[in-house]
């Protein structure tokens, strides 16, 4: 059975909580005591109907203020797949939260109110999904019941969105007409939309092809931890533990170690359950090499003829996540990239991206909370990376404020800076 991680974006007004509630309810994931707790809380808050948002808005402050503060993770499964939902709030801190939820997602669902069409918020969500390179995007055109299940209206919304999506890099785009409230095309096909010949949402989530989304071409193994048992039984054992970040690795493969540049051969790929004949992302394994080389955490194993870029100068798109400080040219920060950490200086802020118009603000001098821009970084030591578009693991990083320890930025690598 496969696992699909998806992010949902939209606000309560778009019916997002209702949609998630519907998926959980119809797949029998909501438990009786949870439903009763939500019903009790709804009555107490004086709402007329059972407010399914209360299922996910678990923090006291969220309940008191009636807002969603943070990304919530929810789980359900069908006989075909296990699903992890990263439910991101539509209003408060939408960029930071959506970027967080989207970073691990295979698919994003963006909700649109059929009456209102493609609003600024929908465009933002679609843009962030493409920036984070979520391979599959579903546009759920919701509240179809309120437009009399009109095919013409669905087509209008579709065209409107397509025109906008042309500017984005979206590999797979699917449109589904739904009514979350009444359940049309959510779990089962609706009789109200005979003109729609696609799948209901859940069926699409179960069937969408995600196996080829991973990078199986470029072997990458960031060394995470060195295992040396120093026991009688495993006296000379020296293994490099880590998670495969790309490609397929097999015993016998020639490898090169970055940064030293030394070459060796994979002697074995070990796990607690025995050696394996091949390893691929996201497997967590322990690699042993034929030669004794000095290797430590933060080093990278690649193939001699297929190596990641090794450089101290990086161009990247950065989403700034701190309300306490801004990113400016000259900012000094810590970077965490694969298993490497280093000091970095922001050399240059090329532009800020207006995520509503997708236009570049060339004269921007800083990035504030929830702003996205293109920056050039200079790292104290070389990093071993790939373009984010080619590999989401070796192409991503976070920026950390050294004094507070907070995560203040998320970055997607465009390439080596000239």
Partner 1 sequence: MSSLAYDLPYLRQLEAESIHIFREVAAEFERPCLLFSGGKDSIVMLRLAEKAFWPARLPFPVMHVDTGHNFPEVLEFRDRRLAEAGARLVVASVQQAIDDGTVVEETGPRASRNRLQTRTLLDGISEHRFDALFGGARRDEEKARAKERVFSFRDEFGQWDPKNQRPELWNLYNGRLNQDEHIRVFPISNWTELDIWQYIKSEQIEIPSVYYAHEREVFERDGMLLSTSPFISLIEGETPFVESVRYRTVGDMSCTGAVESSAETIDAVIAEVSATRITERGATRADDRVSEAAMEDRKKEGYF
Residue ranges in 131-190 that form contacts with partner 1 under rule CB under 8 A: none
The sign of the torsion formed by the CA atoms of 110, 112, 118, 120 equals: negative
Site string for partner 1, 321-360 (x = CB under 8 A): x------------x-xx-x---------------------
Residue 349 CB, shortest distance to partner 1, in Å, is 21
Residue 33 CB, shortest distance to partner 1, in Å, is 3
**What radius of gyration do the chain's Cα atoms show?**
24
For residue 2, state whether it binds partner 1 (rule: CB under 8 A): yes
Residue 398 CB, shortest distance to partner 1, in Å, is 5
**Strand runs labelled E in 275-371:** 279-280, 284-289, 300-302, 309-320, 327-328, 332-337, 340-354, 359-361, 366-367
Q: How far apart are CA 156 and CA 177, in angstroms?
A: 12
Give the distance from CA 232 to its chain's centroid. 44
Judged by CB under 8 A, which stretch of 150-158, 191-199, 222-230, 349-357 contacts partner 1? 222-230
Q: Which of 272, 274, 339, 342 is nearest to 301 (CA)?
A: 339
Nearer to partner 1, 14 or 270 (CB): 270
For residue 303, state whether it binds partner 1 (rule: CB under 8 A): no
Q: How far apart are CA 38 and CA 52, in angstroms?
A: 7
Nearer to partner 1, 56 or 179 (CB): 56
Residue ranges in 368-397 that form contacts with partner 1 under rule CB under 8 A: 392-393, 396-397
The footprint of partner 1 on this chain (CB under 8 A) covers a number of residues equal to: 81
Length of the chain: 418
Judged by CB under 8 A, which stretch of 59-67, 107-115, 134-142, 194-202 contacts partner 1? 59-67
Q: Are 145 and 182 in contact (CB under 8 A)?
A: yes
- Interface residue with partner 1 among 14, 70, 106, 299 (CB under 8 A) is 70
Q: Write the CA distances from 347 to 155, 165, 313, 328, 331, integer angstroms.
A: 46, 32, 9, 9, 8
Judged by CB under 8 A, which stretch of 116-124, 140-148, 180-188, 275-283 contacts partner 1? 275-283
For residue 32, state whether it binds partner 1 (rule: CB under 8 A): yes
Nearer to partner 1, 118 or 399 (CB): 399
For residue 74, state whether it binds partner 1 (rule: CB under 8 A): yes
For residue 65, state whether it binds partner 1 (rule: CB under 8 A): no
Find residue 81's DSSP bridge partners.
Answer: 2
Nearer to partner 1, 152 or 405 (CB): 405
For residue 122, state whether it binds partner 1 (rule: CB under 8 A): no
For residue 214, state whether it binds partner 1 (rule: CB under 8 A): yes
Q: Write the CA distances from 379 to 87, 192, 228, 296, 396, integer angstroms.
A: 34, 58, 30, 19, 15
Residue 244 CB, shortest distance to partner 1, in Å, is 9
Cα dihedral 329→333→336→342 (10° resolution): 100
- Interface residue with partner 1 among 24, 52, 53, 99 (CB under 8 A) is 99
């Amino acid at each position: 059975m496969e696992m699909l991680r998806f992010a949902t974006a939209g606000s309560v007004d778009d019916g997002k909580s209702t949609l998630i509630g519907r998926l959980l309810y119809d797949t029998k994931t909501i438990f009786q005591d949870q439903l009763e707790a939500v019903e009790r809380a709804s009555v107490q808050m004086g709402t007329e109907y059972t407010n399914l948002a209360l299922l996910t808005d678990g923090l006291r402050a969220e309940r008191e203020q009636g807002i969603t503060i943070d990304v919530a993770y929810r789980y359900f499964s069908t006989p075909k797949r296990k699903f992890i939902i990263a439910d991101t709030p539509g209003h408060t801190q939408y960029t930071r939260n959506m970027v967080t939820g989207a970073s691990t997602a295979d698919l994003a669902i963006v909700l649109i109110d059929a009456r209102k069409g493609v609003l600024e918020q929908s465009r933002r969500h679609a843009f962030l999904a493409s920036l984070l390179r979520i391979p599959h995007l579903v546009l759920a055109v919701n509240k179809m019941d309120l437009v009399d299940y009109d095919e013409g209206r669905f087509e209008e919304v579709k065209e409107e969105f397509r025109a906008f999506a042309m500017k984005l890099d979206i590999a797979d785009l699917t449109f589904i007409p739904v009514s979350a409230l009444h359940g049309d095309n959510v779990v089962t096909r609706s009789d109200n939309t005979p003109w729609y010949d696609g799948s209901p949402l859940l069926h699409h989530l179960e069937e969408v092809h995600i196996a080829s989304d991973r990078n199986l071409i470029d072997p990458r193994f960031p060394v995470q931890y060195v295992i040396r048992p120093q026991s009688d039984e495993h006296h000379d054992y020296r293994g490099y533990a880590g998670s495969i970040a790309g490609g397929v690795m097999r015993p016998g493969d020639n490898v090169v170690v970055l940064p030293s540049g030394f070459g060796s051969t994979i002697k074995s790929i070990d796990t607690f359950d025995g050696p394996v004949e091949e390893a691929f992302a996201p497997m967590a394994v322990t690699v042993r090499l034929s030669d004794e080389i000095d290797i430590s955490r933060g080093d990278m194993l690649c193939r001699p003829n297929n190596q990641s870029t090794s450089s101290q100068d990086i161009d990247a798109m950065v989403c700034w996540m701190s309300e306490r400080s801004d990113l400016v040219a000259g900012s000094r920060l810590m970077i965490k990239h694969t298993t490497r950490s280093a000091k970095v200086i922001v050399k240059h802020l090329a532009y800020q991206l207006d995520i509503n118009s997708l236009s570049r603000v060339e004269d921007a001098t800083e990035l504030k909370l929830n702003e996205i821009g293109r920056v050039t970084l200079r790292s104290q030591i070389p990093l071993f990376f790939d373009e984010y578009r080619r590999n989401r693991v070796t192409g991503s990083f976070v920026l950390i404020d050294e004094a507070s320890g907070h995560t203040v930025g998320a970055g997607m690598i465009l390439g080596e800076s000239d």
